[in-house]
Amino acid sequence: MSTLSLPRTSSWTPWSNRLRNMLTQESIATIIVSVIVAAAVLLPLFALVVSSFQVMDASGFSTTWGFENYTALFNDRVIHKAFINTLLISSGSTILATFLGVSLAWINARTNCPWRDRLEPYNLIPFFLSPFVGAIAWHNLASPRIGLLNSWARDYLGVPGYLINVDNIYGVIWVTGIFFTPLVYLFVVGSLRRMDPSLEDSARTTGAGLLRTTMTVTLPLVAPAILSGAIIVFVTSAGEFGVPFKLGAPYGWQTLTTQIFSKAVGDDANYYLGSAMSMSLGIITAFFIWVQQRYIAPRSFTTVTGKGFRPNVIELGRWKWFAFGYNISFIVFAVVLPILSLIIVSLHPVWQGRIIPSAMSLNNYVKTLFFWRPDSIQAATNGIYNSFILAFLGATIAMILSLVVSHMIHRTKGFGARVLDFLCVVPIGFPGIVLAMGVLVTYIKTPIYATLWIILLGYITRFFPYGQRNISSVMLAISEELDQSSRMAGASWFTTLRRITIPLLKPGIFAGWVLLFIIFLRELSISIILYTSGTETLSVGVYYLSNYENEALTAALSMTQTVILLVCILIFRRVAGREALTA
Amino acid sequence: MGSRQAARAACRIALLAAPFTAIAIFATAASVNAADLTPHEKTLAAAAKKEGAVTIINPIFSDRTAQRMAAAFVKRYDLGPDFKFNNLRKGTGATVAQVRQEIKAGKFTVDVHLVSAPGFFAAASEHGAFMKLDSDYWKDSEELAKQASQYFNYPYVVVPLAYTFQPVWNTSCDGMKDFGATSYSDVLKPALKGKTIVSDITKSFTYTNTVISLKKNDAVDVDEMWKKIKATDPIVEFRTEPKMQMVISCQRPLDMWNLAGRVYQNVVKKPDLAKILKIGYYKEGQVMLGNQAAVLKGAPHPNAGQLLLEFLLSKEGTDIFVEGEAVYSFRKGYKPPEAAKPYLLDLSEHKLLGMKDWVAAQGEFKEVRGKWQAMFQ
């Protein structure tokens, strides 16, 4: 009997060993996460690609296969103009946001600018406001006739006509640029703080001045972070809907997103044509992903080593006051004035373009906050509640995914890692509104349709790459040797992840979580497609009030959103420390 | 029979009839609900109560109107405090996009669809997407709806209400003090440069249908109208409330196509506005835009959906949306509530425009919108 059983055991043992070797903690996590990411990203995109080749008939109920949607892109003059406007707005916003973001990060991280620690949270506030809210605020500030700044310029300075006008493409660039500045700032400031000072010291000791050291050593070292931030800003600007919807489209500056919006949910709703339009945006995105992969990924500079250090603080002399003034100016234009305009407008029953102290009250806040009152607006009160649930759950799930995915991308470095890296960036380039349509079509027949879960899925699919990029930018700056040492010392993959990688990445994880929490609290374009009665979000509430109520109520809910975000950021700064926001 | 005999007979009949008349009046006063509800309503109400909720998707009903409607609906049919009335308000296109998507997927969250989209309702009816109605109240609206050349397709699609675009302006803004509008020529004057809004017809069935109706009725030379409005350097916008805000704030003090209901709703919020916001009309003709309604086949609350449609067609339901939105009803002999009267046109004094074939008009959308786009985009 024993002689019969031996061969079986001997043939089974190597196979089981092989299986055991294959089924490691790392491989299981890799497989699970890969399947989730692939399904989450590819299914809606597949639905989009397929849809783009379906041509809708006049009734809207039947389709045929064909290329007519793509030929329409070339034949439609409005789409042409929208395409060009999108490129102009994205380029302009990226240049503005990168310039402001890098300069502010440098001032705060590396100079002796007075009160720089206190200024930092204020630099990030524009990002907490939704760009759509920013556009509403700036419209109330700098619209030619009703803008407060223009009104004051006329009344107190005697300026004829108007001083500034944001109701055009420049206004779209301005608002998008300043509201996305913190994205670049967040990417860059962490790298600047973690930079090995010996690299700059070497340059300074060889006679290089401040400017030369900054240009030839500092900036090249943080180039991956700058480029990552710039790429994110570019593709996010291209996919931004709220700002051009408010400041561009009514004044003849259509963008691809405003056009896609009108195709997705407009009266001539043609999702199939919208899908083809989104594919054209995808080409732009793919190009920038290629740039990122080609130029940034290979330059994975190690700016953090196992050595302990503290980065140099550059003495600016009397220029420190210029730096302070520069930073304060940014805060005034990007934070103080928009919030001021929201407060003023929100206190009026109906905004008539001028301050009427006798008419001011808190009634708009009562309607948008006091859910138990009969005159409360449900879209607003539901929105606040739902957004908190979505933001908390979404950010948590997305960061768990991001952590594992980042580890796989930057520590395994195989073909699969490159594919995964690509998959993680792809959703960023697709306008939320279009990806939401993909999610809708994919999941409409499932039980998650018309629930918060489908919105959550849309959020995670669209935005978890932000968290992943955030972790990656820190991971790129951490030497792989630390991980390798742990593994060589006998620690398992999970133990290494838990005891070495996660502690080192903690600032990045917190930053990513906060980033996503904020994004989800102010997200509009996915929610607007996927919401239904009872699943409204905060931004849907703002959009609803803007479209169906008035500027004053809109401003009240916008202020509520702003205050909620400011409180959140204060709490997280206290809990997680300064680094949580500036990894 | 002599005159004295006839008088006696009449007296006798009156005396005999008096007790019965008194009983009838007493019964009516004592149980308003029982008298108002038809047997069909009672059956639907019992089933709706079990379903526990109803969801209507539409671009019209404000929160205030929806809250008042919910209370009246629940009370009239005794649906109980737990009954949920969900008013899902989206843009006209968004409602169509969502409902069409649900029909194609066979997965429904909406019970009743109310919007001005004849082409969509016709196509969806052809696809068998709507429930067959058995309305007791539709007969009260059918005749006028037909006279007003509105699209309906009973027993699947009815048309409970309509609105019409009118010129609205703010007399407190510069140069608008003595402005008045009773004709298209009034709102197209070159002197209005920088004061106007043009409605984006590419995003709206109702604007496009207004243009087509004006053309088909030879009321206005539309091409010439676009040229003239273009010369006033207008802002392009399509939703009526943002346009109203532009008018109120003097950003653009004149909107050639807005809704009287929007003026009314803003006056409710700030009564002073009644002095400065004015509503005109077009002697060339007012295009009446009927809003169709239907219950979706496969709706999660089909009985509650049918009951809601009955409510919208009833006098009580009509009073609520007319008072809340200053829109028009097709109910025969209907007298609107006093509060809404100043904002409603006396239709007997105005030239009303409709269309013979609203569904076929959709075939002209591309051309009409293309011309508009060439001018404004």
For A180-230, write each residue's pLDDT tens digit. 998 899 888 878 887 777 777 777 777 777 778 877 877 788 888 888 888
Is residue A126 within 8 A of residue A178, CB to CB? The reply is yes
Neighbours of B9 (CB within 10 A): 11
Q: Which helix (H) or strand (E) holds B169?
A: strand B166-170
Alpha carbon distance B335, B316 (integer Å): 12
- Looking at residue A310, its pLDDT comes to 61
- Looking at residue B304, its pLDDT comes to 97
- Shortest distance between the Cα of B33 and any Cα of chain A, in A, equals 25
DSSP letter for each residue of B294-353: EEBTT-SSHHHHHHHHHHHHSHHHHHHHHHHH--EE--TT----GGGGGGS--GGGS-EE
B104·A61 Cβ contact <8 A: yes
Is residue A323 within 8 A of residue A113, CB to CB? The reply is yes
Q: Which helix (H) or strand (E) holds B88?
A: strand B84-89
- Looking at residue A572, its pLDDT comes to 64
Q: Which residues contact B88 (CB under 8 A, 6 or more apart)?
A: A532, A533, B55, B56, B57, B58, B95, B110
Domains of chain A: 29-57+64-581 (1.10.3720.10)
Residue B70 has pLDDT above 50, yes or no: yes
B107·A266 Cβ contact <8 A: no
Average pLDDT over residues B163-171: 96
For A260-277, write each residue's pLDDT tens digit. 877 766 656 787 888 888
> Average pLDDT of chain B?
88
- Shortest distance between the Cα of B183 and any Cα of chain A, in A, equals 25
Classify B37 as helix, strand or coil: coil
Alpha carbon distance A87, A322 (integer Å): 33
Domains of chain B: 36-163+289-344 (3.40.190.10), 166-287+356-376 (3.40.190.10)
DSSP letter for each residue of B219-256: -S-HHHHHHHHHHT-PEEE--HHHHHHHHHTTSS-EEE
Residue type, B325: E
Average pLDDT over residues B75-93: 91
- Looking at residue A4, its pLDDT comes to 46
A548·B124 Cβ contact <8 A: no
Residue A573 has pLDDT above 80, yes or no: no
| B204 contact residues in A (CB cutoff 8 A) | 267
A349·B270 Cβ contact <8 A: yes
- Looking at residue A210, its pLDDT comes to 73
| A544 contact residues in B (CB cutoff 8 A) | 89
- Shortest distance between the Cα of A334 and any Cα of chain B, in A, equals 23
Q: CA dihedral in degrees (A415, A418, A420, A426; nearest 10)?
A: -140
Please name which of A385, A412, A397, A379 lies closest in space to residue A541, comparing C-alpha atoms: A379
Who wins on pLDDT, B33 or B7? B33
- Looking at residue B363, its pLDDT comes to 85
B242·A271 Cβ contact <8 A: no
Alpha carbon distance A162, A147 (integer Å): 9
B245·A351 Cβ contact <8 A: yes
Alpha carbon distance B301, B109 (integer Å): 9
Residue of B nearest to A136 (CA): B242
B251·A264 Cβ contact <8 A: no
Q: Which residues contact A572 (CB under 8 A, 6 or more apart)?
A: A510, A514, A580, A581
Residue B6 has pLDDT above 50, yes or no: no
- Shortest distance between the Cα of B19 and any Cα of chain A, in A, equals 45
Who wins on pLDDT, B243 or A17? B243
For A394-442, write each residue's pLDDT tens digit. 999 999 888 888 888 877 766 777 778 778 877 776 778 778 878 887 8
Is residue A94 within 8 A of residue A88, CB to CB? The reply is no
Alpha carbon distance A137, A135 (integer Å): 5
- Looking at residue A296, its pLDDT comes to 65
> Average pLDDT of chain A?
82
For B315-325, write each residue's pLDDT tens digit. 999 999 999 99
Residue A494 has pLDDT above 80, yes or no: no
Distances (CA, A) of A505 to A63, A86, A407: 49, 35, 10
Radius of gyration of chain A (CA): 26
Residue B326 has pLDDT above 60, yes or no: yes
A351·B248 Cβ contact <8 A: yes
Is residue B346 within 8 A of residue B212, CB to CB? The reply is no
Residue A534 has pLDDT above 50, yes or no: yes
B237·A265 Cβ contact <8 A: no
Classify A580 as helix, strand or coil: helix
- Looking at residue A311, its pLDDT comes to 65
Q: Report the residue from B105, B205, B269 with minimal CB separation from A349.
A: B269
Residue of B nearest to A532 (CA): B88
Is residue B95 within 8 A of residue B59, CB to CB? The reply is yes
- Shortest distance between the Cα of A246 and any Cα of chain B, in A, equals 10
Burial of B308 (0-12, 13-18, 19+ CB in 10 A): buried
For B254-269, write each residue's pLDDT tens digit. 999 999 999 998 998 8
Q: Which residues contact B207 (CB under 8 A, 6 or more apart)?
A: B165, B199, B200, B201, B238, B257
| B364 contact residues in A (CB cutoff 8 A) | none
pLDDT-wise least confident of A33-47, A186-200, B85-99: A186-200
Residue of B nearest to A440 (CA): B101
B235·A450 Cβ contact <8 A: no
pLDDT-wise least confident of A42-46, A113-117, A124-128, B233-237: A124-128
Ramachandran category for residue A126: left, alpha or beta (phi over 0 → left; psi -120 to 50 → alpha): alpha
B97·A264 Cβ contact <8 A: yes
Q: What are phi and psi of A33, to 5 degrees?
A: -65, -40
Residue A385 has pLDDT above 90, yes or no: yes
Please name which of A77, A75, A73, A55 lies closest in space to residue A64, comparing C-alpha atoms: A55
Residue A505 has pLDDT above 60, yes or no: yes
Residue A574 has pLDDT above 70, yes or no: no
Q: Report the residue from A264, A350, A547 with minimal CB separation from B273.
A: A350
Alpha carbon distance A243, A171 (integer Å): 9
Please name which of A548, A556, A145, A348 lies closest in space to residue B273, comparing C-alpha atoms: A348
A143·B251 Cβ contact <8 A: yes
Residue A24 per-residue DSSP state:
-
A547·B241 Cβ contact <8 A: yes
Alpha carbon distance A464, B333 (integer Å): 60
Dig out the tokens for B114 from the structure: 């109310």
Length of chain B: 377
Alpha carbon distance A260, A271 (integer Å): 8
Alpha carbon distance A380, A561 (integer Å): 10
- Shortest distance between the Cα of B333 and any Cα of chain A, in A, equals 31
Alpha carbon distance A368, A365 (integer Å): 5
Please name which of A52, A74, A72 lies closest in space to residue A63, comparing C-alpha atoms: A52
- Looking at residue B19, its pLDDT comes to 43
> Please, what's the b/e burial string for A535-559 (b: 16 or more CB within 10 A of its CB; e: otherwise)?
bbbbbbbbbbbbbbbbbbbbbbbbb
For chains A and B, what is the number of CB pairs under 8 angstroms? 142
With both helix axes pointing from N to C terminus, report the angle between A77-110 and A223-239 in degrees, rounded to the nearest 10: 150
Alpha carbon distance B164, B280 (integer Å): 11
| B107 contact residues in A (CB cutoff 8 A) | 444-445, 449
**Locate tokens 């800003």: which residue?**
A233
- Looking at residue B7, its pLDDT comes to 42
- Looking at residue A537, its pLDDT comes to 94
A268·B202 Cβ contact <8 A: yes
pLDDT-wise least confident of A428-442, A443-457, B172-186: A428-442
- Shortest distance between the Cα of B261 and any Cα of chain A, in A, equals 12
The tally of CA atoms less than 13 A away on the side-chain side of residue B121 is 28
Distances (CA, A) of B63 to A53, A444, B162: 40, 27, 19
- Shortest distance between the Cα of B142 and any Cα of chain A, in A, equals 26
Dig out the tokens for A327 from the structure: 């930073």
B96·A267 Cβ contact <8 A: yes
For A285-339, write each residue's pLDDT tens digit. 667 766 766 666 555 454 544 455 566 777 888 889 999 999 999 999 999 999 9
| B273 contact residues in A (CB cutoff 8 A) | 350
Q: Which residues pair with A451 in a beta bridge?
A: none
Mutate to test the interface with B, among A267, A377, A444, A546 (most CBs of B within 10 A): A267
Who wins on pLDDT, B2 or A150? A150
| B244 contact residues in A (CB cutoff 8 A) | 550
Q: What's the predicted TM-score (pTM) here?
A: 0.80
For B338-364, write each residue's pLDDT tens digit. 989 989 998 888 898 988 888 888 888
Confidence of residue B25 (pLDDT cuts 50, 70, 90): very low
Is residue B97 within 8 A of residue A269, CB to CB? The reply is yes
A254·B205 Cβ contact <8 A: no
